[in-house]
Chains A and B, each alone.
Chain A
Amino acid sequence: MSEKITFTVNGTPRTVDIDGGEKLIFILREKLGLTGTKRGCDDASCGACVVVIDGKAVKSCVFPVKKLEGKEVVTIEGVSEGTKLHPVQKALIEAGAVQCGYCMPGIVMELYALFNREPGASDQAIRDALDLHLCRCTGYEAIWEGALLARKYLAG
């Protein structure tokens, strides 16, 4: 039972055929070739697949594509401008938060949504947002410092 659904991805309107049961991650990765969004767990527990929908950080591995009509999606591919990195990306690199990098797109999107909404987000708000993400490499120290640095960059 194929149907068409229209939404924007990184500012570009897209129309795709869906069967109805797919999750957003499948559409992004398999139909639109946006492989920067990562699959880690299939049950919304790791955060590697987080994208931003209408300004909110959402786990795309459980987001039903049916609910996407008319929405604005931003993925990791839509965060930097050309080769110019977003301050969140720059800050995470400078803090040494990038090791294997597999969790990074999800974490960048989480912080991107948070700081767009609340440029001066409190430590507690940052902690709550990052606590939704699993990273096996860093022990979180550098990710935490990167997030604080990003807040500083975005404030200044």
Chain B
Amino acid sequence: MQLKYIGKDITRPDASGKITGRVQFLDDIKLPGMLHAAILRPDLAHGRILSIDTAEAEKSPGVVKVVTGAGCDLVYGDNIRDLTPIAVDRVNYIGQPVAGVIAETLAEAKAAVKKIKAEYEPLPVYTDARDALKKDAVLIHENSGDFWHLPGIEPIGGTNIANRYTVKKGDVEKGFAEADTVVEGEFNYPFGSCSAIEPHGSIAWFHEDKTIEVWSSSICPFIIREEVARVYGLPISDVRVHIPELGGCFGYKSDITVEQTIAYLASQVPGRPVKWVATRKEDFLSTLIGHGIRTRIKIGAKKDGTLTALKTEVLHSTGASADTGVHVLIAATHNSTGTYEFPNCYLDGYSVYTNTPPVGAFRGYGHQESQLAMERMMDILARKLKLDPFELREKNYLGPGKVTSLGETLHTTNGDIGKCVEIVRRAVFSSPKKKAEDDYYYYGRGFAALMKSPKGAPFSSKSCYLKFNRDGSVSINMGGAEVGQGLRNVVRMVAAEALKIAPERIRVYTEIDTQFSPWEWQTIGSMFTTQGGRAVVKAAEKAIAELKKTAAIVLRSEVDRLDYDGDYVFVKSDPTIRVPVPDLGRGYTFPDGVTVGDVVHTTSDSRLPLQSNPDENGQGRMGITYTFGAQACEIRIEKKTGKVIVDHFASSFDVGRVINPVQIRGQVAGGVMMGIGASLHEELKFDGEGKALNPAFRRYRFPTLKDAPGKQTIEFVETPGEIGPFGARGIGEHPLVGVAPAVLNAVYDAIGIDFFEIPLTPEKILEALKQK
């Protein structure tokens, strides 16, 4: 296919607004009469609220209202309704809202919050699912079996299990009986923070006419709209949600979290907008955290490396709410096969309530957690079978005709893992390792294959509104949240290609406003390019059909005899008989003023085709558009300090079609860096009492420039997919998925020590070297 715009380095439309500081983020918004909120958080992670004394705070200067949860009976959640906007009679995690002060200025609100005295009766604290699962464990939600939830979610009442999800494929016992070798391991991917540089925040305004207006730095305006409307008993159309510019997301600004808290505070001062923006500490502890996943894995294989059986147990410490974490667990469980076909699987996942902040989406969404286990075990299995790790993997890769754990048969259009592997092998393993060690360093190389499937929902969709203007330029409006990933440019470039119009003549929406924006479920799961791009193509095709319809009248022809080239609609057999596209946008006006045809504006939407709920075996069409990739690295370990230095990191993904080379490289380079951070130093730590030990950038160390790999090789394979525009698949989350196992496999190569958890800090390496 000859493409004119796709695949070119076209500068993103939002670059100049961002580089000049001109675009408006949530914290930049000021509204008439706006009040400010500050929130009291508990000093223990689990306890009953005995009393909250707000008398002093109420007398504090500038205070308009002090709000507690007494009498609040609102519950929310878009998957499991296990959230309340504010603690009612009990706190379940550090960071939970206990009381809010609304004041004329932020300084006054903060000063007053300090004057609130709350007393608690402590309850036992569980920060790890293994403890919350013990028989005598206190229930974090006593009525969890009664919570409303989406179909396919299985809470076990009377326990801390918020959901159990099990995949059964084939006969796992038979599979292990056929195996010549069995390997087992247990892995841990600890808590982390998405840590966008823009903290999360929200503004809520209960109007005199009973409508509600909300602003949020969220990627889910329509979920916020629907959930706020439901909670306050309003028609959905009476809630209006605005999303200004977003300063990064990486997962945790999804679903609905702080918005309900701020709405509840604002409901107490109707008529005035209330603004709250997280402090950095609140951003760590009062929105969503990530991961907290332990994977126990058992693999059966024949002598020649043929895989026969897989058993995994995925244990998710999901925090005080499972609403946002339940699908992370589901994704982690059915993707725990990694890129391999196992004829027999028993994959058992548990979301377990614990006393940490709610765990939710983190770029990668369950994939990197369980694939850390799989990719490390592949190296371990290869050693045991005395096989080359590449050969062992190659024997078992998923591909056309192979069947995933979900029972989905793959096709050529799902991509080619083999080509991705070849690219990173060439980049990192083409020559023998130069040296194993010298006076200062140990040297190692590691590899990991990976698979990512989007976590959608059967009803999820993305919509597009496309309008031709009278000069032939085009305006496009969608509900997809631009968090930095560059989706506005993807929309523009896909539209340009589909409409055969230069990108400079296509203007894409900036902020989202549910009053005007077409409906979108939420911008998650690396799905926008695929699903949103498909919606753009559909809207463009409809617009071209409209243009032809009017042109058929003007040219006294018929639609099927006409063609379109972006500038003209013309008669196929005689292109000199034509009408310029700008003349058709608002209908065609003849010289005498008579106008025919319709205004050319179209709408479209795009689902993940045939996506289903899981069946009784946990299977179904839930992966839909798989993306495969491979990653590898060359590292050094400093003997003196134990520090791991990544000299070269190579990544390749079969993305179907590269839309914009600069942007896709940026996605991968950034994702790999995030993965290196998780592998080597990032961990959000809690002590035994559930108190966070490092909720600040200085102590939660995420990578700086000096941690960047010496070199990144980033190449793509383009086997067209069947859903996305011009064959494109997603890429947003994938670059993180194989990083940790590639690094840990390289560490084994360097020092011969198997690690089963991250982050691999210098202290852990020095300690392990000493033990050795």
Q: A and B: partners?
A: yes
Residues of A bordering B, CB below 8 Å: 29, 35-43, 45-46, 48, 75-77, 79-80, 85, 89, 92-94, 96, 98-105, 108, 127, 130-131, 133-144
- Enumerate B118-170 residues with CB–CB distance to A below 8 Å: none
Inter-chain contacts of B196 with A (CB < 8 A): 100, 102, 136
Q: Is the CB of B708 within 8 A of A139?
A: yes
CB pair A76 B18 closer than 8 Å? no
Residue from A35, A38, A98, A108 within 8 A of B198 (CB atoms): A38
Indicate whether B662 reaches chain A with its CB closer than 8 angstroms: yes
Most chain A CB within a 10 A radius of its CB, from B197, B277, B483, B484: B197
In this complex, the member of A39, A127, A137 whose beta carbon has the largest number of chain B beta carbons within 10 angstroms is A137
How many angstroms from the CA of A39 to the CA of B21 in the assembled complex? 12
Residues from chain B with a CB closer than 8 A to the CB of A144 are 705, 708
A-B contact list, 29 entries, CB within 8 Å = A36-B20, A41-B696, A43-B280, A77-B20, A89-B16, A94-B11, A96-B663, A96-B666, A98-B15, A100-B197, A100-B198, A100-B249, A100-B483, A101-B14, A101-B484, A102-B247, A104-B19, A127-B706, A135-B197, A136-B195, A136-B197, A136-B670, A136-B702, A137-B484, A139-B670, A139-B671, A141-B666, A142-B665, A144-B708
Minimum CB–CB distance from B35 to chain A (whole Å) comes to 14
Most buried by B among A77, A141, A144: A141
Number of B residues, CB within 8 Å of A: 55
Does the CB pair A139–B672 fall under 8 Å?
yes
Taking A85-B16, A102-B198 as known contacts, 16 extra A-B pairs with beta carbons closer than 8 A to each other, sorted by chain A number, are: A36-B21, A39-B199, A85-B20, A93-B11, A93-B15, A98-B14, A98-B15, A98-B19, A100-B249, A101-B14, A136-B670, A137-B248, A137-B666, A137-B670, A138-B669, A141-B666
Residues of chain A within 8 A (CB-CB) of B673 are 138-140
* B20–A80 touching, CB < 8 Å: yes
Shortest CB–CB separation between residue A128 and chain B, in angstroms?
Answer: 9
In the complex, chain A residues whose CB is within 8 Å of the CB of B279: 42
Query: Whole-angstrom distance from the CB of A104 to the nearest CB of chain B?
Result: 5
Is B697 touching A104 in the complex (CB atoms < 8 A)? no
B25 pairs with A46, CB closer than 8 A: no
Main secondary structure on B side of the interface with A:
loop
Smallest CB–CB gap between B198 and chain A, Å?
A: 4
Out of B247, B249, B662, which one reaches A96, CB within 8 Å? B662
Q: Mark B695-725, 1 if CB is under 8 A from A, else 0.
A: 0111000111110100010000000000000
A45→B697 contact, CB < 8 A = yes
> Which 10 A-B residue pairs are closest in the complex by CB-CB distance?
A36-B21, A101-B18, A100-B484, A102-B247, A139-B673, A99-B484, A76-B21, A139-B669, A96-B662, A35-B28
B12 within 8 A of A: yes
**B674 an interface residue at 8 Å Cβ cutoff?**
yes
Question: Which residues from 423 to 466 on chain B have a C-beta closer than 8 Å to any C-beta of chain A?
Answer: none
Q: Tell me the complex Cα distance, A76–B248, Å.
A: 20
For B675, the closest partner residue in chain A by CB is: A139
Chain A residues with CB under 8 A of B14? 98, 101
Q: Provide the residues of chain B in CB contact with A48, threshold 8 Å.
A: 197
Which chain B residues numbered 215 to 260 have a C-beta less than 8 Å away from chain A?
Answer: 245-250
Interface centre among A38, A98, A127, A144 (most CB of B within 10 A): A98
- Verify if B23 is at the interface (C-beta below 8 Å from A): yes
